[in-house]
Amino acid sequence: MPHVLVLNASYEPLGVVPLRRALVLVLENKAVALEESGAYMHSATVTVSAPSVVRLKRFVRVPYRGPVPLTRRALFARDGGRCMYCGGVATSVDHVIPRSRGGQHVWDNVVASCRRCNHVKADRHLFEIGWRLRHKPAPPTGLAWRIIGTGHRDPRWLPYLQPYGADDALARIDGISA
Ligand SMILES: [Zn+2]
């Protein structure tokens, strides 16, 4: 089932929900459709246009949600789908400080990597092999990253996500199938 981007009344991206859930929000008058997908949903009695973006009518206060969840998809988006050692096409996730040597699975210690670099580096520190990172890894910031991390995407969402911190990643993400 397609997914729908949900915006707060303030237009901040809140999350992604299945189409059925978004339709319920609209039919219960809790949200309005801002963009339509072009598809139609039929029931016994009504036909409604399927939304691709909805905006809540009432502002929802969102508690602080902590760092952007570290997912493979979000990581590949952060690193542009490129190996952070050689710049080749990334296919795997590498721990800069190897897990076997105390490295943690956190944004500051993971990078997208090609299979070859990951294999060559194995469980060594960078200084041991004289490698350098192309960029220092850091947690991504911005609400749009929570949407990217879900793995759902729709070109109609872009104008609503671009103001929220993921401009570069969004531009690159279509080439990424991680
Ligand atoms: Zn590489």
Q: In the chain, how many H helices and how many E strands?
A: 7, 6
Q: Residue 113 Cα, ligand 1 centroid: separation in angstroms? A: 5
Q: Residue 83 Cα, ligand 1 centroid: separation in angstroms? A: 5
Q: Is residue 134 part of a domain?
A: no
Tens-place pLDDT, residues 128-152: 999 999 889 999 888 888 888 788 8
Same domain, 44 and 85: no
Same domain, 149 and 111: no
Q: Residue 137 Cα, ligand 1 centroid: separation in angstroms? A: 15
Same domain, 60 and 76: no
Same domain, 113 and 150: no
Tens-place pLDDT, residues 24-61: 999 999 999 999 998 888 878 888 889 999 999 999 99
Q: Residue 100 Cα, ligand 1 centroid: separation in angstroms? A: 20
**Domain residues for 23?**
3-64+143-172
Q: Residue 153 Cα, ligand 1 centroid: separation in angstroms? A: 27
Number of domains making up the chain: 2
